[in-house]
Amino acid sequence: MRDTVQPNRHVPDRLTSRAQRMLRSWEALLLAVAVAIFMLNSFASPYFLNAWNLSDATFNFTEKAMIAFAMALLIISGEIDLSVASIIALASTAMGLAAQYGAGTGELVGIGLVVGLLCGAFNGVFVTILGLPSIVVTIGTMSLFRGISYIILGDEAFRGYPADFAWFGQGYVYWVFTVELAIFAILAVVYGVLLHKTNFGRAVYAIGNNPTGALFSGIRVQRVKFILFLLTGLMSGLAAICLTSRLGSTRPSIAQGMELEVVTMVVLGGVNILGGSGSIPGVVIAAFVMGLVTFGLGLLNVPGIVMSIFIGLLLIGVIALPRLWAMLRQGRRAS
């Protein structure tokens, strides 16, 4: 008999191809940027590598990241909420008002979460039931919610919170690991599973890519979007609890401009501002990147207005870069 020689067949190494995709991903690039910023900060300031200073650095992003997780899902679905900072102001004002009447820590936490949830529901009703554009609705409620805080407080501030209320914004779980950082880590896992491992997450992606197709495939589009607005409001209420606890007081200007940083964090994390794509790991890394940058600039005594300019330029750059790259590729193909 004649021996038949079997041709060599190339069997693709799935692990290798998956590793290559990960290395070429936006998350890998962000991680490299985070490492580079960490190294630059360590050379720029001798105080940066102090464990307690690094612990304090987490306050620069944990409260914003809590909202960014929910905002990521909302933007992936094709919507946006620009009222999150004003929800923080209103929730903090409600907690401060309750504290003046002797409310305990448990009651204050409940009030903060409920106010955030109600604000999210308010936005959701106008977008999902009345069919109004989310950017228009939330610009309106951005002024509405903060305006209510100014009416209640004026130029004054609420203080006198219970002593144990400070645990949320100033407490430590273990050594230098803050309560806020622990909450951030738990929420990262929860939202990562929700978006990437559940039918609800797949529905969010489907709605962001093609809402009409998602509707005809049996997904209750408006219901999913309403839940996302509820989650965004709830996370804003949670951020209000942590921020108010950390500051120990409430002013109507609290969290002013935070909505810009939250959206920047989400978009920097690789979430398409037009919807349909993005990941929670990207948002987590983007949170660390922004935290390291702002903390490093703070150690160098860079004025806050310069940080605001940097955040604005970063948002514009991250949105414009993919478009410029696509135009460049099209130009090369055409030539």
The answer, yes or no, to whether residue 13 has pLDDT greater than 70, is: no
Between 52-61, 150-159, 197-206, 301-310, the lowest mean confidence (pLDDT) is in 301-310
Q: How far is CA 13 from CA 6, 17, 23, 28, 142, in A?
A: 20, 6, 15, 20, 51
Q: Which of 87-96, 106-115, 168-177 has the lowest mean pLDDT?
A: 168-177
Residue 181 has pLDDT above 90, yes or no: yes
pLDDT at 11: 46
pLDDT: which is higher, 23 or 215 = 215
Give exposure, 295-310, as e/b (b: 16+ Cβ within 10 Å): bbbbbeeeeeeebeeb
What pLDDT is attached to residue 23?
65
Which two tokens mark 88?
């923080």
Identify each DSSP E strand in the chain by its residue range: 172-174, 177-178
Length of the chain: 335
3-state secondary structure of 304: helix
104: enclosing H helix or E strand: none
> Which amino acid is residue 68, in one-letter code?
A
Mean pLDDT across 79-102: 97
pLDDT for 220 equals 96
Q: What angle do CA 93, 98, 104 make, to 5 degrees?
A: 125
Q: What is the pLDDT of residue 46?
A: 84
> What are the structure tokens assigned to 10, written together?
């190339």
pLDDT above 80: residue 135? yes
pLDDT at position 71, please? 98
Integer Rg of the chain from CA: 22
**Lowest-pLDDT choice from 49-58, 124-133, 303-312:** 303-312
- 58, pLDDT greater than 90: yes
Residue 3 has pLDDT above 60, yes or no: no
Residue 178 pairs with which residues in a beta bridge?
172
Count of H helices and E strands in the chain? Answer: 15, 2
Instruction: Assign a CATH topology to domain 57-321.
Output: ABC transporter involved in vitamin B12 uptake, BtuC (1.10.3470)
Confidence class of residue 20 from pLDDT cuts 50, 70 and 90?
low
SS3 148: helix
Q: Residue 94, exposed/middle/buried by CB under 10 A (0-12, 13-18, 19+)?
A: buried
pLDDT at 335: 74
- Listed in order, strand segments (DSSP E) in 35-152 are none
Task: Report whether pLDDT(2) > 50.
Answer: no
**Which of the two residues, 49 and 167, has the higher pLDDT score?**
167
pLDDT above 90: residue 314:
no
Query: Hunting for tokens 């940058």 — which residue is that?
Result: 293
Q: What is the DSSP letter of 275?
A: S
Mean pLDDT of 219-240: 98
Average pLDDT over residues 213-220: 95
What confidence category does residue 18 fall into, taking pLDDT thresholds of 50, 70 and 90? low
User: What span, in angstroms and rounded, lies between the C-alpha atoms of 129 and 88?
Assistant: 24
**C-alpha angle with apex 87: 226 to 230, nearest 5 degrees?**
20
Find all residues with CB under 8 Å of 241, minimum gap 6, and list them. 91, 95, 108, 109, 112, 113, 168, 169
- pLDDT value, residue 1: 43
Share of the chain above pLDDT 90, in %: 72
pLDDT at residue 302, as a whole number: 83
pTM of the entire structure? 0.91
Percent over 70 (pLDDT), the chain: 93
Report how far residue 16's alpha carbon sits from residue 149's, in angstroms, rounded to the nearest whole number: 55
